[in-house]
Amino acid sequence: MSLVSHLCSLLSALCSLLFPMNYSIPMLARIKDLFASPLAANQQLALTLIQAHGLPEAFRDELLVDYLSGNNRPRVTLGIKIAKALGPDFLYEALWFRYLSVGTVGTSYGWVKSFLEAEVQEKAYQTFKQFGYPAPSDLAGDLEKLQKLLADLNTPRLALMVCLANKYDKDKQINPKVWSAFKYLVEKDQEAYFDNCLQAMIYNNSLNLGLLKSLPDAVSQQDQIEKLTIYGQGEHALKSIPGSLLGMKQLQELRLMANGITEVPDEIGHLHNLRILDLTFNPIDYLPQTILEMPRLFVLAVSQPMLTDAGKACLQKIQAGKSPNLRIVLKSNEPLT
């Protein structure tokens, strides 16, 4: 250990003993300012503070994702140093986050390798080697491999960080990496992480999800959602419309494409603000007449080839009784694969 590192460790221990800290909002803002400073001494002071006292969870995760996203070398390097100050588990997760968010460890691992202990280097290398080192360029689209990686690492915080990274993603509408991370949290029943993930995934009052077999109640509790899309894919799909969605009275658009939905509940008529109901690529067997009681609905979309005979009969009744304002869209092209 160098003299500087030794002195920093002593200072950290002294701070922890003499100045136990309850972080206030101004203090957190000050820490952000110290990290944003071009002076290395200011950054080191902030690192020493968090090494001694840690950070509040929400602030910590946002800070890590902010600095670890993108390809700005000084910011990424500082992000790894922040993770290192927080502890070994955070350091591994920071490296894995770079692996997931960038699609390759590549250069960014070289940036930080020099100040990682040999044990950390070896563990990180073996993990990356197991899942492909460097990571394949199509990792973002390789949902099965990404899901396996999250499951094998078994760290909900890493999945949360992948969701939070959506704030820094140019394409906030459809992001398979985020879908897989949220799916992992749902399947592991990690409710403590749901709200933070959803807040990062909601964009312009819209939320896009995918690959879910069930929907946590936390989704229906997000009052700002006006447009909700849930894509299915194969066995990773909803089999029915979750009852919790039927209480989201603020919804204006509900798109449930390529799921395994067979029946639309009568209670769908309670969504009085709904303007678009997209049920394409679902094997619909029952459509309720309450659809005719939805005053603002002007688009109902279904896939005619996938309707059962009973579903077609229901659709005919709706067509016969609909107002001129309701447009029924019949799609015949193939669903997402």
Give phi and psi for 233, each to the nearest 5: -155, 110
pTM (2 d.p.): 0.80
Predicted confidence at residue 167, as pLDDT, reads 72
The structural domain count of the chain equals 2
Radius of gyration of the chain (CA): 24
| Token pair listed for 151 | 């499951």
By CB neighbour count within 10 A (0-12 exposed, 13-18 middle, 19+ buried), where does 1 fall?
A: exposed
**181 and 67 share a domain?**
yes
- Whole-angstrom Cα distance, residue 200 to residue 205? 11
Predicted confidence at residue 325, as pLDDT, reads 93
**172 and 286 share a domain?**
no
Coarse DSSP helix, strand, coil percentages of the chain, rounded to the nearest 5 percent: 55, 10, 35
**H/E/C letters for each residue in 37-74?**
CCCHHHHHHHHHHHHHHCCCHHHHHHHHHHHHCCCCHH
**137 and 222 share a domain?**
no
Considering 146, 179, 201, which residue would you say is the last residue of a domain? Answer: 201
Flag whether 165 is in a domain: yes
**63 and 89 share a domain?**
yes
Q: What is the mean pLDDT of each run of 10 residues along the chain (337 residues)?
A: 51 44 73 92 91 87 89 87 90 82 58 71 71 53 70 86 77 71 91 90 91 93 95 91 95 96 97 97 96 96 94 95 93 54
| Token pair listed for 326 | 């309701």
Query: What are 203's strand-pairing partners?
Result: 206
Flag whether 304 is in a domain: yes
Residue 313 belongs to what domain range? 205-337
Residue 303 sits in a domain whose CATH number is 3.80.10.10
Predicted confidence at residue 133, as pLDDT, reads 54
The CB density around residue 45, as the number of other CB atoms within 10 Å, is 17
Predicted confidence at residue 249, as pLDDT, reads 94
Angle between helices 40-53 and 3-18 (to 10 degrees): 50
**127 and 253 share a domain?**
no
Predicted confidence at residue 2, as pLDDT, reads 55
Flag whether 18 is in a domain: no
Considering 201, 234, 258, which residue would you say is the last residue of a domain? Answer: 201
**174 and 262 share a domain?**
no
* Listed residue (41, 85, 38, 39) closest to 63, CA to CA: 85
Considering 185, 201, 217, which residue would you say is the last residue of a domain? Answer: 201
Flag whether 299 is in a domain: yes
Flag whether 84 is in a domain: yes
- Cβ atoms of 78 and 35 within 8 Å: the answer is yes
Predicted confidence at residue 274, as pLDDT, reads 97
**217 and 273 share a domain?**
yes
Give phi and psi for 207, each to the nearest 5: -135, 130
- Cβ atoms of 336 and 237 within 8 Å: the answer is no
- Cβ atoms of 46 and 35 within 8 Å: the answer is yes
Give the number of residues written for the chain.
Answer: 337
Predicted confidence at residue 17, as pLDDT, reads 39
